[in-house]
Structure 1
Amino acid sequence: MSRSVSALPVSTFALLSCLLASPAVADESADAEAIVVTGHGLAEGPAEPAYDVTVLDREQITSSASGRIEDVLTSVAGFQQFRRSDSRSSNPTAQGVTLRALGGNASSRALVLLDGVPVGNPFFGHIPLSALNPQRLSSIRVTRGGGMGAFGTGAVSGTIDLTSAGPDEIGSLQASALVGQRGETQVSATTAPRLGDGFVMASVQWDRGKGFWTTPRDERVPASARAAYDSWSTALRAVAPLTDTVEVQASGLAYDDNRTLRFEGADSSSSGQQASLRLVGRGDWQFDILGYAQAQNFSNVVISSSRFKKVLDQAKTPTLAVGGKAEVRPPVGDAHVLRLGADLRVTEGHLVELPYSTVSGQPTAFRRAGGDQSDFGLYAEDDWTMGSFVLTAGVRADRWTIRNGFYRELDATGAVAENTTFADRSDWSVNARSGVVWNASNLLSLRAAAYTGIRLPTLNELYRPFVVFPVVTQANAALKPERLRGYEAGIEVHPSDAVSLSLTAFDNKLKDAVANVTLDTNLRQRQNVDAIRARGLEASANASLGEVSFNGSLAWTDSKMDASGTQAALDGKRPPQVPKLAASATLAWAPRPGWRLAATVRHVGKQYEDDQETDVLPAVTTLDAYALVPLGGTFSLILRGENLTDETIVTRNQAGSMDYGLPRTLWAGIQVGL
């Protein structure tokens, strides 16, 4: 696998060079119509408003107080990470993202796409947030509810679609360099020059710092350490026309992320490379054909919280994913937009880890675990416009497999202590969604939708046990896929072109939800509970009134577990890490071109650390600020403030042993735009 990993970016860059060196196949006469390339996929259908959709524009994306993608997404009603920590101060495997309070463990229940490519880690299910630089994006589209279209099996709570920016948004150069109050630095540069009828985008970002104390002062010991981080990522895209209606998009991404958490030597690393090639046709027969390859790796060292020595070395977790999609939209008339498609994703992942004796300092065992998964999907969806009504209906059939699962352990002498192989499994799953939008007037739209969906358990949930001392969580190779059933209804009000209001009521039920279930003191196991039932309201308000703009969101959710039998004690309890209330509001002022002054207030309600509702994460309200002030010429001053009121953010609480989130943090720097 190491050969394929290292070859990915090289082959991608070679392909990009060939694309840029090749002339466009087009009429070059002076009278020829100008060819326009977008770098995007096909447009959404007219029935997209049937679902609860939020779109963030580039100005919102690039002006957060932290400059990190998870901070940007927190402004979307219902968005949630497994923990409150951001990607500077959490273990990467805790970076699962979900929507609609359907959490309960660290795996992602939302599908995250970058220019059509799924970016989630195939083994753990987490998202490489530090690699997703907001400066490279033109828009983010968040669609809540069960997935449809390509790669829909990963979208039981919704889809987060990231679209890269091009020359119109980036220009010749966008660069910035900032310094934080603790000596942290954040440097990025992105360029997107036009080349003939196409363009290229190249970008690099580097963040590093000694971090802050996640351990409360009264719990610190000589071995305690700040949450140091050092991460970089680089991206390269080329977009060129093949004809006047067909464009080719080639992309490459590489990243590396290193962190230290809680104790000296408790180091984790996450790295990856991916390459993709995409053809988009916008003629009478529209099509979108995509292929990609993706390699990721993860390592982690666990330090004993009593002896402060290494107790576990997760030496490596290499994963490989290859896949693609093909979608066609035949010309079936102005009243219809018909999508017919197929997609495939094949993944493999293996863990290598060594437990250590805190007395001798030597390994006591050698463990390997892993397996393969695949999903082949066929889908069809039709949007039908009938006057002021737009109807949509779609169906998706998936053939999934879980294969070659194993867990092997050798003792310190090299003798086999355990050697278990797990039975292969496969099945077909059929899911559907439908919706309707009634555009009653220019002022008012009403919508309703229903949907189903499926998520396969990750290789991590199936085969890898883990310890967050003193709690042991066992894997479970018998886990069943999660299955979603949901419906929703909403209202959209547009008093004017500058003001929009949205309110959605929803009821989602995730059957056979995978949760970390307590079996005994300090012992848990991943199990399917009967269901997680999430009912709630999502609201948003947006206004752009001259120099002043406002963006607000609120999610109120009653999320409970349905459980019976040996799990009956969980019945009616809230899933771990899920708040009832989350809200965000940003007020911005742009007194003149090039200026932006903004303040953001966020509130996250009380959460529970565990499934027994014994360890509480208190509610917290934070204040962030952002300022962009032109200095003259191409230079601007950037000032950013995170958690300005210095609120105590509890991110972990296990029987009183706590971790804290980001304290007050101030940044200052320079931005250059050409």
Structure 2
Amino acid sequence: MIGPKAFERRSGLIALACIILLRLSVISQDVAKIEGVVRDQLGAPVQGATVALRGKACEARTRTDENGRFQLQDLRINALECKLVVDARGFALYEEALRELLSREQPWQIKLAPASFNERVTVTASRIPARLGDTPQSLLTLSRSELETTAAPTLDDALRQIAGFSLFRRASSRTANPTAQGVSLRGVGASGASRALVLADGVPLNDPFGGWVYWGRVPSAAIERIEVLRGAASDLYGSSALGGVIQILTRRADKPAITLETSYGNERTGLASLFAGGRWSKWGIALAAEGFRTDGYILVDGRARGPVDTPAGSERFAFDLTLDRSFDERGRIFWRGSYFGEVRGNGTPLQTNQTRIRQLSGGINRRSSRSGEFDLRAYLNAQVYDQTFSAVAPDRRSEDLTRAQRSPSQSSGAILQWSKAFARHTLIAGSEVREVRGASDETAYAINQATSLVGTGGRQRTMSFFAEEIARLSSQIIVTAVARYDRWRNFDALRTTKQLARNVVTVEPFVERREAAVSPRLSALYRPSDRFAFFASAYRAFRAPTLNELYRSFRVGDVLTLANPDLRAERLVGGEAGASYTRARFVARSALFWSEIARPVANVTISVAPNLITRQRQNLGRTRARGLELDVEWRAGTHWAINGGYLLADATVISFPVNRALEGLRVPQVARHQFTVQTRYGTPSGFTFAAQARASSAQFDDDQNLFRLAPYFTMDLYAARKLRRKVEVFGAVENVFDARYDVGRTPIRTVGPPRLVRLGLRLTLSAR
């Protein structure tokens, strides 16, 4: 017999087992529909997050709309065998068993935590998706939200958040001549030709003729994020990547979506940026457009300006249309057409320029578990650049036209890449071809009368091969070895001159030039724990002179710079070593770097007259840049985020046998100290506040270190408020304290932009 107490215990166990079996029976029933909302730690909706069911016989996927909502319908799955996975860029991966979620009332509220520094995915450092924590190089990312909360209306001004990013003469693309928009990183020296490569989805944005960058070519509403790789990267990207790579990654529309941002401010500064797109079955389409205009301001310092000085205004328009087709999980093919037009006034009535660029590009990505992944990019670019030059009287009351230039150019290229993972090894190999044709057709004037016609130009053809291995020797050690071979030649180059008064034509052909470069890299990363990582790299890099440097002369103010068809490629040897520390919401990263550039191209002074300084592009003997780089990121609680950066760059000329007087001088356009800090604050109610500040020590605008640009400090403010989930209003103030800092000395002092105040609206629509 069973006693009363034993009977009660057995009865309780039987009842509990029945409840469990009943619960399991309920859970194991087919689930027809699930829905929920994905939010960040501040309670703001997360748009575009991938929501998927994973597990045995669990195949369902969708994306969240602009309100963070998702819905999966018509499901026939067993909840016991499934888990819900939410993946969003910039956030840590969320995973939870579906049987646990079913105990809650729908719609489910899912909160995502910010991704740790180590978990962020990048593609620029290794040409394939990789965790940032596994990258032994100096790489920073700017997310879409970080770009939206900056007061800067142009991309180049937004990138000044990064210590080490610099343009020629501290100029902003709002008002500066585009030929002064060469970008450099980490103190290698800024010039009209960039020493850093700028890409948009893997396609070069650097001007094919001159190497400078048109920062408005990619509409801001279409930008998903930007990755900035500091340090030589010719091992993977070839010429122009001497100082690093800046890659702009654009948005893809996975469902019908529209984003519109518009603003207006003083100096009649207006901006409108649009992104619209969607996907139907396997086809997707995306349209992006942006218009910008500003009356600008007078560039010349108030104490030196005269009646001839006028505001340097600009207008530009960019258009981009992309069509793509996906092949399930096996790959994608896309076609893209873009147009960019720009008109500028350069500060006097006779000095103007304009640009028109048309580009076609496309690509295909194909994945296979057996053969690996293949990626092909191809592009075709045609453009025309027009500019006029003048000589301004010493009293700045009048000017005379001296030269009118037209520079047509065409470029085409293709990049083929293969990659495959083998156990602990990943292999990457590829090839790249490129050809550029360009000319400078000039009409020279004296006393406003045409005196001669000069046409100069040529072609440049490049072929490259590269290979990379990423070896995970253990869970703590990653070693990367890369090598790239580039060979190029300059040919069909000549100068034709016609003296109009005598009707005499002379033709001067230039000798065909061939060069080659080998760019190896060896990097290692050691991670003894989740918090600490140590890394080191050694590398070589190069930069081939552009057709502009070889064949086109130009004049800015009282400075005439002559071309040089005998220029040779710059060669860099360098290395870096550093460490990072990660803990919860705090990340600190520091690196020591060193590099020497043989034969750097510089504008060397060859004569000085009362109203004219003549320089020529020449290969110096050798320059050296060494210093310290420091980056800090801190998420202070759930509302605050603070980022800071510091760069110490000691850049000097260490050898120039042709002119020993330049040895020991500072490299022009490189500040010894740069400092940046950004603070962002956000609340669940939809209020956002951000402040950015940057400071720079003095630098020089010339090779002889005679024209000093004084130190400066500026601060920007941004505030936004969501009126509804789809509508946000914002205000932005750039250069809050109205600092009139030095931008250039030609030798007339030119100054930076005054305070700019804008008010704007941002509209976001998306289908559920």
Tell me the TM-score normalised to structure 1 length. 0.91
Number of residues of Structure 1 aligned to a counterpart in Structure 2: 639
Shift of 1:135: 2.2
Does residue 116 (structure 1) correspond to residue 202 (structure 2)? The answer is yes
Quote the residue 2:688 is aligned against: 596
- Checking the alignment, whether the CA contact within 8 Å between 1:263 and 1:308 is kept in structure 2 is no
Q: What is the aligned partner in structure 1 of residue 591 from structure 2?
A: 504
Determine the structure 2 residue equivalent to 1:266.
Answer: 351
* Superposed displacement of residue 150, structure 1: 5.1
658-667 or 39-48: bigger deviation: 39-48
CA apart distance, 1:64: 1.8
Counterpart among 208, 220, 235 of residue 305 in structure 2: 220
Does the residue aligned with 1:59 lie in a helix, a strand or coil?
helix
Deviates more, 1:95-104 or 1:626-635: 626-635
Q: 1:549 aligns with which of 641, 646, 653?
A: 641
Alignment of 1:184-199 (within 5 A): 184-199=269-284
Check the 8 A contact 1:150/1:342 in 2, yes or no: no
Residues 47-56 or 394-403, more deviating: 47-56
Going from structure 1 to structure 2, the CA distance change for 1:304 and 1:523 (only over 3 Å counts) comes to closer
* Counterpart in the other structure of 2:659: 567
Instruction: Please give the alpha-carbon distance, in whole angstroms, between the structure 1 residues aligned to 2:59 and 2:677.
Output: 48
Q: CA deviation at 1:231?
A: 0.8
Alpha-carbon distance change, 536 to 634 in structure 1, aligned in 2, over 3 angstroms? same
Aligned to 2:323: 238
* Contact residue 556 and residue 746 of structure 2 kept, 8 A: no
Which deviations, in whole Å up to 9, do the C-alpha atoms of 1:439-467 show, x marking residues without a partner? Answer: 11110000000110111111111112222
Identify which of 604, 608, 612 aligns with 2:704.
612
Query: Offset at 1:31?
Result: 9.1
Conserved in 2, the CA contact under 8 Å of 1:62 and 1:135?
A: no
**Alpha-carbon distance change, 440 to 167 in structure 1, aligned in 2, over 3 angstroms:** same
The whole-number CA distance in structure 2 between the counterparts of 1:529 and 1:663 is 36
* Higher relative contact order, structure no. (Cα contacts within 8 Å, ≥ 6 residues apart): 1
Structure 1 Cα separation of the partners of residues 398 and 703 of structure 2: 28
Query: Cα gap change, 1:450/1:149 in structure 2, threshold over 3 Å: closer, same or farther?
Result: closer
The 1:593/1:334 distance shift into structure 2, 3 A limit, reads farther
Query: Which residue of 1 is the match for residue 485 of structure 2?
Result: 397
Is it true that 1:450 corresponds to 2:542 in the alignment? no
Following superposition of structure 1 onto structure 2, how do residues 117-266 of structure 1 map, counting pairs within 5 Å? 117-148=203-234, 151-167=237-253, 172-266=257-351
Aligned residue among 496, 502, 517 for 2:604: 517
What's the counterpart of residue 422 of structure 1? 510
- Displacement of 1:438: 0.4
Contact 1:623 1:644 in 2 (8 A): yes
Write the letter of the residue equivalent to 1:299.
D
1:614-629 matches, within 5 Å, as 614-629=706-721
Cα distance change of structure 1 residues 45 and 589 upon mapping to structure 2, 3 Å threshold = closer
For 1:33 and 1:249, the matched residues in 2 are separated by 25
**Alpha-carbon contact 1:312-1:353 (below 8 Å) kept:** no
Secondary structure at 1:461 match in 2: helix
CA contact (8 A) 2:182 2:192 kept: yes
Q: Is the 8 A contact 1:89 1:661 kept in 2?
A: no
Q: Residue 330 of structure 1 is aligned with which of 386, 408, 420? A: 420
Once the two structures are overlaid, the 10-residue window that deviates more, 86-95 or 191-200, is 191-200
Give how far 1:54 is off.
1.1
CA contact (8 A) 2:167 2:191 kept: no
SS of equivalent residue, structure 2 residue 449: coil
CA–CA distance in structure 2, aligned partners of residues 310 and 596 of structure 1:
51
Distance in 2 (alpha carbons) for counterparts of 1:315 and 1:63: 39
Decide which of 410, 419, 433 is 1:320's aligned counterpart.
410
SS of residue paired to 1:74: helix
Of the candidates 357, 372, 380, which is equivalent to residue 293 of structure 1? Answer: 380
Report the CA distance between 1:173 and its aligned residue.
1.3
Cα distance in structure 1, aligned partners of 2:190 and 2:645: 23
**Range with greater deviation from structure 2 (538-547 or 130-139):** 130-139
Once the two structures are TM-superposed, the CA of residue 418 in structure 1 deviates from its matched residue by 4.3
Q: Aligned equivalents of 1:234 and 1:217: distance in 2?
A: 37
CA offset at residue 59 of structure 1? 1.1
Select the structure of larger CA radius of gyration: 2
Call closer, same or farther: CA 1:268–1:113 in 2, change over 3 Å. Answer: same
What residue identity is the alignment partner of 1:295? A
Kindly state the Cα deviation for residue 122 of structure 1 after the two structures are TM-superposed. Answer: 1.6
Matched, 1:303 2:390: yes
Q: Give, in angstroms, the shift of residue 44 of structure 1.
A: 3.2
Quick check: 442-451 or 297-306, which moved more? 297-306
- Alignment-derived partner of residue 3 in structure 1: none
Cα drift, residue 637 of structure 1: 1.1
- Contact kept, 8 Å, 2:698 with 2:709, in 1: the verdict is yes
Where does 1:100-115 land on structure 2 (aligned, <5 Å)? 100-115=186-201
Establish whether residue 658 from structure 1 lines up as the match of residue 749 from structure 2.
yes
How far apart, CA to CA, are the structure 2 residues paired with 1:510 and 1:376? Answer: 23
d(CA) in 2 for partners of 1:520, 1:175:
52
Cα deviation 1:562-586 (Å, max 9, x = unaligned): 2232221111111111111111101
The answer to whether residue 499 in structure 2 is matched with residue 411 in structure 1 is yes
Among the aligned pairs, what percent are the same residue? 26
Structure 1 CA distance, aligned partners of 2:490 and 2:59? 53
Distance 1:314 1:290 in 2: 36
For 2:662 and 2:260, the matched residues in 1 are separated by 51
Name which of 446, 450, 463 aligns with 1:376: 463
Alignment match, 1:54: 140
- Most deviating of 134-143 and 599-608: 134-143
Q: Which amino acid aligns with 1:214?
A: L
Q: Which residue of 2 aligns with 1:527?
A: 618
Does the Cα contact within 8 Å between 2:195 and 2:242 map onto a contact in 1? yes
Which of residues 166, 175, 179 is equivalent to 1:89? 175
Equivalent residue letter for 1:312: T
Moved more, 660-669 or 60-69: 60-69
Are the counterparts in 2 of residues 148 and 379 from structure 1 also a CA contact under 8 Å?
no
Give, in angstroms, the shift of residue 304 of structure 1: 2.1
Letter of the 1:466 counterpart: F
CA deviation profile, 1:407-430 (whole Å, cap 9, x unmatched): 222112363364221100113321
Q: How far does residue 592 in structure 1 lie from its aligned partner after superposition?
A: 2.1
Contact kept, 8 Å, 1:64 with 1:71, in 2: the verdict is no
CA distances 1:566-616 after superposition (whole Å, capped 9, x unpaired): 221111111111111111101110022543210111102101111111111
1:518-572 CA distance string (max 9 Å, x none): 1221221111111120001111111223111111111110000122322211111
- Map of 2:439 onto structure 1: 350
Query: 1:486 aligned to 574, 582, 589, which one?
Result: 574
Query: TM-score when scaled to structure 2?
Result: 0.80
Q: For 1:499, give the aligned amino acid.
A: F
Give the direction of change, closer, same or farther, for the CA distance of 1:577–1:346 in structure 2 (3 Å limit). Answer: same
- Determine the C-alpha separation between the residues in 1 that align with 2:656 and 2:257: 60
> Is structure 2 residue 383 aligned with structure 1 residue 276?
no
Instruction: Tell me whether 1:437 sits opposite 2:525 in the alignment.
Output: yes
C-alpha RMSD over aligned residues: 2.2
- SS, match of residue 107 in structure 1: coil
Query: 1:315 deviation in Å?
Result: 3.6
The residue aligned with 1:79 is 165
Structure 1 unmatched runs, 5+: 1-29
CA contact 1:322–1:345 (8 Å) conserved in 2: yes
1:658 deviation in Å?
Answer: 1.3
Residues in 2 aligned to 1:150 and 1:345: alpha-carbon distance in whole angstroms: 15
Please, which of 559, 570, 578 is the counterpart of residue 471 of structure 1? 559
Cα distance between partner residues in 2 of 1:53 and 1:428: 28
With 311-320 and 533-542 compared, the bigger mean Cα shift is at 311-320
